[in-house]
Amino acid sequence: MTDSSGIANNTPSVEQLQKDAQTLRAEIAELRGTKAKLLEQQLSATQTALERFANDHLKTLEERKQTLQIAVDQLERRQERVQAEMRQSFAGVSQDLAIRIHGFHDYLVTSLQDLVIAAEKLELAPKETAKPQAPAPQVAPTPRPEPAAERRPAEQRPPRSGPSRQSRPPQQRSTPPQRGPKFATQEFEEETRQIRQILDQYRTNPNYYGPPWQLRRTFEPIHAERVASWFFTFGGRGALRTLSSRLQNILVASATISILRQLYGNSVRTLILANSPERLGDWRRGLQDCLGIDRSDFGPERGLILFESPDALAQKADRLVKEQQLPLILIDDAEEEVSLSILQFPLWLAFAPEPQLRKERATFDWFE
């Protein structure tokens, strides 16, 4: 009896335990569901935060990329400008070495030719003086005045250059159109010799740090050939075929200005004609670079004057001639027509473009 009553007393406790176990299982399941929900919420919050973080950093990176792209573009443009300036100033070391090596052979050949020509002239001089002296012995004391008479054209040259302006007005007013062609005549033999010496110096021994108004850039044989052709073939009045860029034309013009100023001093006044302010700006910068001058040398009463109108240039040149000055007129290769009023003056140099390039240069600036 005692055992059965004990079992009966223990029966409710088992049922209670089973109920407790079920309750615990339900709570565990509920906790698992809550845990899963919490994990999902945390994952979604983490993903949202990561997306927001990534978007913010992407925006920052895009802004930095744009800033860097702008900086790269600026550096590329600056590199292009530097390369253009190097091409314009002929400052490349390799180009300078190539020009020197290429011109050395021409220098030797030209020097030998000049020596041969000088020797031939020295041989002809005594023959010409000996012929009139042979039949008349009493003319023996007269050789001294003959070289003095031969030197008179050279002695009369300074009044044309400008040191003594009182003796120059009648010559300039009466012979401006004929002044240019006389570069190739015997009267201007001394000037011819000086011009050739200066061209050889510019070509073989350039001085990049010389005084103002002297050429400071590398001078190739083709440039020397153009300048010599203008002086001796065209007599200081004519058009030359344009080179590959406006700056090379400016280099030829700069050498011409430098030579004339060495021959005639400050009386040389250069008048430049171009049909746009941009091209006149190219001329101003190129002449400053090639001749070592500054902006103060440009102006109505200075050594260089810029014009867009041929009529205004002709009026200024006429006033300079009346003031006993020597105007040198430079005409840009973009000028399609040349005013006849310009051709009356003693010195003018025009650059003629290639026929097929005339239309291209009207819309494209070749100042490289």
Query: Percentage of the chain surpassing pLDDT 70?
Result: 68
CB 182 within 8 A of CB 188: yes
* Among the listed residues 256, 359, 238, 352, the one whose alpha carbon sits nearest the alpha carbon of residue 304: 256
Which tens digit of pLDDT belongs to each residue from 158-209? 333 333 333 333 333 333 333 443 564 555 678 888 999 999 999 998 888 8
The label of the residue with tokens 């590959």 reads: 244
Residue 354: per-residue pLDDT: 72
Measured distance CA(147)–CA(285) in Å, rounded: 46
Q: What pLDDT does residue 80 have?
A: 83
Taking CA atoms, 131 is separated from 122, 141, 150, in Å, by: 15, 15, 17
Measure the CA–CA gap between 361 and 244, rounded to whole angstroms.
Answer: 11
Strand ranges for the chain from DSSP E: 237-241, 268-273, 304-307, 326-331, 347-352
Q: Is 140 exposed, middle or buried (0-12, 13-18, 19+ CB in 10 A)?
A: exposed
pLDDT tens per residue, range 254-268: 999 999 999 999 999
- 60-96 burial, b if ≥16 CB within 10 A, otherwise e? eeeeeeeeeeeeeeeeeeeeeeeeeeeebbbeeeeee
**Sequence spans of domains, the chain:** 11-89, 92-145, 151-363
Q: Which residues pair with 351 in a beta bridge?
A: 240
CB–CB of 291/257 below 8 Å?
yes
| SS3 state at 163 | coil
Q: Quick check: 336 pLDDT over 60? A: yes
Q: Helices (H), strands (E): how many in the chain?
A: 13, 5
253 pLDDT band, cuts 50/70/90, is very high
363 neighbors 209 (Cβ within 8 angstroms): no
Tell me, what DSSP letter sits at residue 232? I
**What is the rounded CA–CA span in Å between residue 189 and residue 182?**
9
Mean of the pLDDT values across residues 330-338?
Answer: 86
Q: Which long-range contacts (CB under 8 A, 24 or more apart) does 329-332 make?
A: 329/270, 329/271, 329/273, 330/253, 330/270, 330/271, 330/272, 330/273, 330/283, 331/239, 331/273, 332/246, 332/249, 332/272, 332/273, 332/274, 332/275, 332/279, 332/283
**Cα 349 from Cα 343, distance rounded (Å):** 10
Q: Decide: residue 284, CB within 10 A, 0-12 exposed, 13-18 middle, 19+ buried.
A: buried
Pairwise pLDDT comparison (4 vs 283), residue with the higher score: 283
DSSP assignments along 258-277, one per residue: HHHHHHHGGGEEEEEE-SSH
The pLDDT of residue 108 is 73
Confidence band (pLDDT; 50, 70, 90) for 107? Answer: low
Asked whether residue 359 carries a pLDDT value surpassing 50, the answer given is no
17-71 tens-digit pLDDT: 888 888 999 999 999 999 999 999 999 899 999 898 999 888 889 998 988 999 8
Alpha carbon of residue 250 to chain centroid:
8
**Residue 93: pLDDT band with limits 50, 70, 90:** low
Multiple choice CATH, 151-363, 3.30.70, 3.40.50, 1.10.8, 3.30.450: 3.40.50
pLDDT reading at 305 higher than 90: yes
pLDDT tens digit sequence for 150-168: 333 333 333 333 333 333 3
